[in-house]
């Protein structure tokens, strides 16, 4: 295997790619996946769109305004100018992006890529300690941050990081600087296999894993899942709830619509009912969200506001067959389920329209191959549970991380999910194979929550697992051993929950807390999370 000559002067990412023998098998089975050696995905998605459909075409919508394709292109070029002319960004430098889903975050993402940088998009809810950890792994030189989210970034230990806010009233604000530029920028002619973005995924140890994706990978997801399953049209209006820091959101709300010249409604925050209202108000036709939201919209009696939809996509957690059937009965819409992974960038097993079997995730997306294997990598018979293994045009490349050998085995990406394949080739989800808790589409590492709880002076010991929940699929449940003399009451529960919210991203806090006198441990002291999971399941039942 050989990489193309890189346009990156800063070789940080290339130097930290896994050795070729540890890469997954890559194959490009579809003609649309044959990309040129020199490729900048931002140019393909944005400049080419303006050339094809014109600059006045609606592109980024918000509840209060909109940008055309031409306006997004101009602002992306201005961001690239600020990065290169004012801040001295060199091709290959990493740029941390932090903010909710809005047009300036999208413009910043495109500006970074056009300048030859590597986008490191982060969740806006992350706290200072978490941001410091991501900084330590990816070593960004610049951060572009929504002015409302600067405090935690300023509090993080990020030596050598230049932080530039956007959307505020400060004279040094990115938007003010952009207004002084002419919006004309010659993009960096990156290689198709230059790293375009670093996306983080939580591991069971709580230490994030940085996945590196090439410029061609960004387009490959549009030319597989989007092209063949979602089947978007130029007149579509997309929207959804996943943050752009999640590759599910980046694909569904930016890459997929712009790939076909469609518009996308960006929502910073919305309840399920508000989401339904926005769908009705803006004539949304394609919706990306988690099963939790579909269930909540039905519970709120708001399905009548979804009349404009023609496509509904669900991912982030398994879609229960009952939710699919109830939603279909209420709306006539067939939710497109799917499984993806940050390591693979987006969805690789799915089904649409008449191919859907409620309760099944689907079949391999065109361009991907999948099978169910045992611990040795040998395929198991149809109907038997095993580990899900996938290959395709994208695959896992951790940034300098020994866990590469766990995720990639015998050339296959082993996702950490237990599945069953039926004799018709449909894949049925069974469970996560590790200690991840998937709640409302968010992946939460139990040990990370344990670590946060243990910093509270009243906590002597704790164990955190997922507990079944009708609304969220799972919730974070903490079994806590208190220090002597501390009251095991609701006041203490609230105090511990607030403590976790301040220590790590608030969505990770334990929604259920049970006080116990001791935790199940092995003779060597290892916490038996399996016992706690069974206990949580029995209690929920």
User: Of residues 155 and 433, which shows the higher confidence score?
Assistant: 155
Domain annotation covers residue 498: yes
Q: What is the mean pLDDT of residues 502-525?
A: 88
| Chain centroid, CA 487 distance in Å | 39
Give the pLDDT confidence score for residue 491 in this predicted structure.
97
User: Of residues 434 and 154, which shows the higher confidence score?
Assistant: 154
Domain end, chosen from 144, 168, 189, is at 189
Contacts of 247 (CB under 8 A, 6+ apart): 199, 213, 340, 342, 345, 346
| Chain centroid, CA 508 distance in Å | 15
Per the listing, tokens 């060199």 go with 90
The rounded distance, in Å, linking the Cα atoms of 77 and 372 is 45
If phi over 0 gives left and psi between -120 and 50 gives alpha, with beta otherwise, what is residue 8? beta
Band the pLDDT of 436: cuts 50, 70, 90.
confident
Give the pLDDT confidence score for residue 205 in this predicted structure.
53
Burial annotation 76-110 (CB, 10 A radius, 16+ → b, else e): bbbbbbbbbeebebebbbbbbbbbbbbbbbbbbbb
Band the pLDDT of 471: cuts 50, 70, 90.
confident
Tell me the percentage of the chain whose pLDDT exceeds 70.
97
The rounded distance, in Å, linking the Cα atoms of 289 and 291 is 7
Domain annotation covers residue 86: yes
Cite the DSSP H helix spans in 82-127: 103-114
Domain end, chosen from 128, 158, 189, is at 189
Q: What is the mean pLDDT of residues 472-477?
A: 92
258: pLDDT strictly greater than 70: yes
Give the pLDDT confidence score for residue 56 in this predicted structure.
98
The rounded distance, in Å, linking the Cα atoms of 14 and 225 is 27
Cite the DSSP H helix spans in 454-515: 490-503
- Are the beta carbons of 362 and 427 closer than 8 angstroms? yes
435: pLDDT strictly greater than 80: no
Tens digit of pLDDT for each residue in 54-67? 999 999 999 999 99
The rounded distance, in Å, linking the Cα atoms of 119 and 211 is 12
Band the pLDDT of 445: cuts 50, 70, 90.
confident
Tell me the percentage of the chain whose pLDDT exceeds 90.
85
Tens digit of pLDDT for each residue in 264-300? 999 999 999 999 999 999 999 999 998 888 988 998 9
Domain annotation covers residue 177: yes
Band the pLDDT of 523: cuts 50, 70, 90.
low
The rounded distance, in Å, linking the Cα atoms of 61 and 67 is 6
Contacts of 223 (CB under 8 A, 6+ apart): 30, 32, 33, 367
Give the pLDDT confidence score for residue 522 in this predicted structure.
65
Give the pLDDT confidence score for residue 418 in this predicted structure.
87
Domain annotation covers residue 5: no
Give the pLDDT confidence score for residue 434 in this predicted structure.
67
Domain annotation covers residue 15: no
CA distance to 34, 44, 47, 141, 521, per residue, from 38 (Å): 12, 11, 15, 25, 54
Give the pLDDT confidence score for residue 319 in this predicted structure.
83
Tens digit of pLDDT for each residue in 320-344? 888 899 999 999 999 999 999 999 9
CATH number at residue 120: 3.40.50.980
The residues with which 202 forms a beta bridge, in sequence order, are 208
Domain annotation covers residue 114: yes
CATH number at residue 535: 3.30.300.30
Structural domain of residue 185, as residue ranges? Answer: 40-47+68-189
Using DSSP, state whether 170 is helix, strand or coil. coil
- Are the beta carbons of 255 and 303 closer than 8 angstroms? no
Domain end, chosen from 168, 189, 210, is at 189
Structurally, the chain folds into a number of domains equal to 2
Q: What is the mean pLDDT of residues 230-258?
A: 96
Tens digit of pLDDT for each residue in 77-132? 999 999 999 999 999 999 999 999 999 999 999 999 999 999 999 999 999 999 99
Closest among 295, 288, 290, 220 to 259, alpha carbons compared? 220
Domain annotation covers residue 253: no
Q: What is the mean pLDDT of residues 152-158?
A: 93
Give the pLDDT confidence score for residue 136 in this predicted structure.
96
Q: What is the mean pLDDT of residues 479-495?
A: 96
Domain annotation covers residue 243: no
Is 486 exposed, middle or buried, given 0-12, 13-18 or 19+ CB atoms closer than 10 A?
Answer: middle
């Amino acid at each position: 295997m050989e990489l193309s000559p890189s346009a990156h002067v800063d070789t940080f990412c290339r130097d930290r790619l896994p050795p070729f023998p540890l890469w997954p098998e890559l194959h490009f089975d579809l003609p649309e996946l044959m990309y040129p050696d020199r490729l900048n995905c931002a140019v393909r998605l944005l400049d080419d769109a303006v050339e094809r459909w014109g600059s006045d075409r609606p592109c980024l919508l918000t509840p209060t305004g909109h940008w055309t394709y031409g306006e997004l292109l101009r602002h992306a070029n201005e961001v690239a100018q600020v990065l290169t002319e004012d801040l001295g960004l060199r091709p290959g430098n990493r740029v941390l992006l932090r903010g909710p889903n809005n047009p300036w975050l999208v413009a910043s993402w495109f500006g970074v890529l056009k300048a030859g940088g590597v986008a490191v998009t982060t969740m806006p809810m992350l706290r200072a300690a978490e941001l410091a950890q991501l900084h330590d792994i990816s070593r960004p030189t610049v951060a572009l941050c929504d002015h409302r989210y600067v405090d935690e970034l300023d509090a993080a230990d990020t030596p050598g990081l230049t932080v530039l806010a956007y959307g505020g009233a400060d004279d040094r604000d990115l938007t003010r600087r952009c207004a002084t530029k002419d919006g004309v920028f010659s993009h960096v002619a990156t290689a198709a296999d230059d790293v375009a973005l670093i996306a983080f995924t939580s591991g069971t140890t709580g230490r994030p894993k940085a996945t590196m994706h090439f410029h061609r990978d960004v387009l490959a997801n549009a030319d597989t899942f989007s092209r063949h399953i979602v089947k978007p049209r130029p007149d579509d209006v997309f929207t959804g709830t996943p943050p752009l820091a999640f590759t599910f959101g980046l694909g569904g709300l930016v890459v997929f619509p712009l790939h076909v010249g469609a518009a996308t409604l960006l929502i910073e925050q919305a309840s399920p009912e508000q989401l339904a209202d926005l769908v009705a108000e803006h004539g949304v036709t394609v919706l990306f969200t988690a099963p939790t939201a579909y269930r909540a919209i039905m519970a709120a009696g708001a399905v009548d506001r979804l009349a404009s939809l023609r496509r509904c996509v669900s991912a982030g957690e398994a879609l229960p067959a009952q939710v699919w059937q109830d939603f279909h009965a209420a709306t006539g819409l067939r939710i497109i389920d799917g499984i993806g992974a940050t390591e693979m960038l987006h969805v690789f097993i799915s089904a649409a329209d008449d191919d859907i079997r409620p309760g099944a995730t689907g079949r391999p997306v065109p361009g991907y191959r999948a099978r169910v294997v045992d611990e040795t990598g040998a395929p198991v018979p149809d109907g038997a549970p095993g580990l899900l293994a996938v290959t395709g045009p994208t695959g896992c490349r951790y940034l300098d991380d020994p866990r590469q050998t766990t995720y990639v085995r015998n050339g296959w990406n082993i996702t950490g999910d237990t599945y069953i394949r039926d004799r018709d080739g449909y894949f049925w989800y069974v469970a996560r194979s590790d200690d991840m808790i998937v709640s409302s589409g968010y992946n939460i590492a139990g040990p990370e929550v344990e670590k946060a709880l243990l910093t509270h002076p009243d906590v002597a010991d704790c164990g955190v697992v997922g507990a079944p929940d009708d609304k969220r699929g799972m919730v974070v449940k903490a079994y806590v051993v208190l220090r002597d003399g501390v009251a095991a009451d609701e006041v203490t529960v609230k105090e511990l929950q607030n403590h976790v919210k301040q220590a790590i991203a608030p969505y990770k806090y334990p929604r259920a807390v049970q006080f116990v006198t001791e935790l199940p441990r092995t003779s060597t002291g290892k916490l038996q999370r399996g016992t706690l999971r069974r206990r949580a399941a029995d209690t929920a039942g």
